[in-house]
Copies of this chain bind each other. A is one copy, B any other.
């Protein structure tokens, strides 16, 4: 990912926060048959002092047979994105020198993959993923709510995924190359749309302005 310096986000806490807010990611692998992308939700957990990402795939997905343990992979987390019209810039009214762009937030995690076949490990992964997501439910469902024989059968149909992280990179392309006045114009333009991904991006931009 090409990142000009002014779009680079070095605050690791912010990158980890984004992973928690937008956990549904693209797992990108490369083998002799080319590039392969699978879409999975991940969660981050400290393991022996190091951070690792966990998820699971269907056992019918050949990925665990074609990608060797220890292979380098890339996981891409996408935050909100939006088209940015020159209409949002107050400066456009003055001199007309403006072009559109696209604002977005992305976190790229490089790491080495391994697959988990042990039932205890797989249960830990599905339980942790479930508990994180169910926290938003009015009456959180728990894996132990289902009959244990059924859960055992379901576990046998999946393979766990563990990714040991080697690097995390964040791109916050949120108008930092514009004047404060234009940044505020973009925030207003997105916020007044009322559409969720756009208002989310407006919040991220407001935070970026107030920190810098």
A1-37: CB near B (< 8 Å → 1, else 0) gives: 1101000000000000000000010101010001111
Residues of chain B with a CB closer than 8 A to A37's CB? 1, 26, 28, 74, 76, 108
Q: DSSP majority for the A interface?
A: mixed
B60, A4: Cβ atoms closer than 8 Å: yes
Q: Lowest 5 CB-CB distances: which A-B pairs, in order? A: A196-B196, A2-B61, A83-B133, A97-B150, A24-B81
Q: Complex: how many Å from CA A147 to CA B94?
A: 12
Chain B proximity of A158: nearest CB distance (Å): 9
B2, A141: Cβ atoms closer than 8 Å: no
Residues in A lying within 8 Å of B, measured CB to CB? 1-2, 4, 24, 26, 28, 30, 34-41, 57-58, 60-63, 72-74, 76, 78, 81, 83, 85-87, 92, 96-100, 102, 104, 106, 108, 126, 129-130, 133-134, 136-137, 139, 141, 143, 145-147, 150-151, 154, 171, 195-197
A106, B197: Cβ atoms closer than 8 Å: no
Residues of chain B with a CB closer than 8 A to A97's CB? 146-147, 150
Partner of A1, one of B4, B39, B171: B39
From known contacts A35-B35, A63-B2, infer whether A83 and B41 are also in contact, taking CB-CB under 8 Å: yes
